[in-house]
Amino acid sequence: MADSQLFCVAEERSGHCAVVDGNFLYVWGGYVSIEDNEVYLPNDEIWTYDIDSGLCFILLIYEQEMKPTFGRKSPTLKGNHLHHVINFPAGYIKTGSRHSPASASRVAGTTGSRHHTREEQIFWGWHNDVHIFDTKTQTWFQPEIKGGVPPQPRAAHTCAVLGNKGYIFGGRVLQTRMNDLHYLNLDTWTWSGRITINGESPKHRSWHTLTPIADDKLFLCGGLSADNIPLSDGWIHNVTTNCWKQLTHLPKTRPRLWHTACLGKENEIMVFGGSKDDLLALDTGHCNDLLIFQTQPYSLLRSCLDCIGKNSIMLESQISLLPPKLLQQVLKKITFWAAANHREEQRVQKEETENKYQWISSN
């Protein structure tokens, strides 16, 4: 089911990276289109979204060539955004020029497209090799695949890890898009071959996301269909029964492709950014909203906090009587729903203005 729809103040973008850690969603990189030009977003900024309060701020990353230290300067204002500066020791996070392209490639990837240069000519190819990045040694290596039938060479697919298996779904193979599911056993380094699905399967697609939501379940969201239609559907795959189940209460007017999808602390899926258009034909529909998909009932505490946050004016005289620890949680939820309501009002006003201009131009 779709739980709520929020609007994050991070800049619009597609092809970015995102990760959830505790109470925060971190967003880095990506690009937007401005006057038919691809503009890569700064690679020394990390947009941070506080899941509890619904507020965003920027973390700045820069190299420090002196003695390695960790520290945080006082917050400063940059435009309308709260700005934090983080000091990292040189080599801990390497960043180039502020305006260098921000790559949003997978850190550890299986299959994909690659270009080769020979005598100043570029040749594009499709691959199904496997490369692993060791975060401890900070080195890449290519494991020896011991057997099984690998997926066809492809690009714009998605990967997810459950237990000792790395799952691959869909993606583009030459001029078509796929809806096949495979896994690589990360202990034996053998491929499963195409997994036989019991029942209905999602449409063929690329530029989608696949997110683990339980020990035996994967959440598929959005993408671009085989007939170049941006998708807004969501599916849950049970790896035990090999069945797909389509979710029925999703916002049909919010298609997404080349977005990110992360698992929140209460098993909600947090889908941020991406495009609502066919990037191959119209590269202007980059988004900055955050969609929340609830995959299981929230805890009683979370439900109560949301209820108080939504009705804070009516409960104003009683809120101050809460114990200090609980009061802090309630105040964050009040901020969260105030921010959500404000952004929704802004969205409605923007749509009304756009519709007015469209009506005027058409008449």
Mean pLDDT confidence for 224-237? 94
Per-residue pLDDT, 34: 78
- pLDDT above 70 covers what percent of the chain? 80
Separation between Cα atoms, residue 97 and residue 183, nearest integer Å: 38
Q: What is the DSSP string of 119-172?
A: TTEEEEEEEEEEEEEETTTTEEE-PPP-BS-PPPSBBS-EEEEETTEEEEEEEE
Q: Provide the pLDDT confidence category of residue 30 given band limits of 50, 70 and 90.
A: very high
Cβ atoms within 10 A of the Cβ of 305, count? 21
Mean pLDDT confidence for 255-259? 94
Per-residue pLDDT, 61: 80
Per-residue pLDDT, 54: 84
Per-residue pLDDT, 258: 94
Per-residue pLDDT, 151: 96
- Compute the mean pLDDT over every residue in the chain, rounded to the nearest whole number: 81
Q: Provide the pLDDT confidence category of residue 180 given band limits of 50, 70 and 90.
A: very high
Looking at the predicted structure, is the pLDDT value of residue 73 above 70?
A: no
Mean pLDDT confidence for 72-97? 32
Per-residue pLDDT, 33: 81
- pLDDT above 90 covers what percent of the chain? 50
Per-residue pLDDT, 112: 60
